[in-house]
Structure formats: structure tokens, C-alpha cells
Amino acid sequence: MAPHVLTQWFLNPKRRTSNSVEEVFQPRTGRSDRGPSGRGPASQGLRRAGSGEPLDRPGVILAGLLRSARPLMRPRRLPAALAVLAFVSAGCNPSSTDAAKPAPAPTPRPSIQPTQQLLAPLPHAQPKLPTIKLKVGPVLLETEVASEPVQIMTGMMYRESMADTEGMIFILPGSPRKASFWMRNTKVALSAAYIDCAGRIREIHDLNPFDENPAESATDQICYVLEVPQGWFIRKRIAVGESVMLENSPLSETFRKK
């Protein structure tokens, strides 16, 4: 019997008649006519336990029905603390399926194997490099060619001297670019002509022995640098604007610029 039917009957005085009471407590059609024990006919009305007196007072009827319906109206619940604890435990403890899975193997990192050592100047004077004859203005000059990175970085380091008829030309990679030369580990005083890609002298700098302050070019159009004994350009009356070339061809036709 639904508790709300009885509640409506109790709260509405107009419906509190003997017929309505009997209608409320009358067993439904189609139900078993056996009592709770299954042995005898069910009672046609509610009676007080231990007596044959019918329970005809609405308050008694309502209280009794509410007590009997309490298990249906109030399902048992876990205390809040136990519910939270169960939730936290379920979240913290891995399932048996997860525990059975092996930990993923770390991804192997490729080993770095350098293909070549870092470039650095030689710790000693380099052997004499291949030579060409340059025409600097009207003057011919026997000139060593430094075109490889180590040759360029070493230059005149550790050498004891340079004849007035000799020079060294550097083919700068990535040119045109700024030029910046210094005199670390260099004993011989030098003069350096900064030359553009057309073979024209743009700047001349004097370089003193062991001076590590770089002589940086004012322009970024430098492709070649020619080193000679210090004062050579003055002695040969070679000034900025003069051309530098091979005996019969421009520098650009002989040296590939990178």
C-alpha cells in the first residue's frame, strides 16, 4: 500500500468516512487472500496486536503504516566519512588489471656521435701553404693561399718571420661578410688589406704582435684578406681603392666563394 494514499486520507477530513477507510485498507483485487503466514485468510482491517480491537483511529493507523514502511522510505546509506574513504581508496589503489601491466620501457635516446672534431687553430706553425702570384696594384707578390677553415684560423700563428716579397691571402667562407682579424700567438707585425668580392681594397689595418683586440671591418662586403709585413702597403704606395687580382684574371674567377 502506498503511504501517500493514506496521508491524503488522513489530511483530508472529508474523505475520512468508514467507506473510505475500508477502501484504503481493503486488499486489492487479484492479491492473494492469504495472510502473512500464508496459512489463513488475510484480515479485512487492521487490528491492534494482541487484541481483536480494530485500529480505527487515523493517528494510530498512520503511525503504524509509517513504521512498517520505514525500510522502504529510508534506504540505508553509508556514513559520509565511509563513502569518502571508499572513493579515495578506489582512486588511489590501482586495479588488478593495471597492476598486472608492466611499466613501459623508456624510449631509447639516440647517442650523439660527432662526425668531426670542433675546429680550432693548430697549436704550432702550419707548414707553408700553396702559393700563387698576385698583382696588387702594379706590384707582383708571391702569396700563400689559406682557404680551409683550419688554415684560415691558424694563419701566421707561431711563425718567426715573413719576407717583404711574401704575403698570405685568406678566402673567407660565407662571403661577402664582415672581417675581423687578431694577432693571438702571432709574433710578426703585419698589415692586412680587407678586399671586397670585386677585388678592390676597401680597408687597410696594421696588426701588432700578440694583440688580441680584433680589427673589425667597417663594411660587410669583404671576401678576401691579404696579410703582408707591416708597412708593406706604404712602402709600395698601395692605397685603399687599388685592385688585387691574379696575373691575368680577377680573384673571383679562381676562388669559389661560399
Mean pLDDT of the region 205-229: 97
Mean pLDDT of the region 126-140: 96
The CATH code for residues 131-253 is 2.60.120.1140
Residue 248: per-residue pLDDT: 86
Residue 57: per-residue pLDDT: 55
- Strands, DSSP E only, in the chain? 131-136, 139-146, 166-171, 180-181, 190-196, 201-207, 215-216, 222-229, 244-246
For 28-43, what is each residue's pLDDT tens digit?
444 444 544 444 444 4
Query: pTM of the predicted model, to two decimals?
Result: 0.56
**Which of 2-16, 110-124, 243-257 has the largest mean confidence?**
243-257
Amino acid (one-letter) located at 49:
A
Sign of CA dihedral 6, 11, 12, 17: positive
For 142-199, what is each residue's pLDDT tens digit?
999 999 999 999 999 999 999 999 999 999 999 999 999 999 999 999 999 999 999 9
Spatial separation of the C-alpha atoms in residues 74 and 76, rounded to whole Å: 6
- Where in the chain are the domains? 1-26+52-87, 131-253
Largest Cα separation within the chain, whole Å, is 146
Nearest-5° angle of CA 211, CA 216, CA 219? 165
Spatial separation of the C-alpha atoms in residues 142 and 135, rounded to whole Å: 9
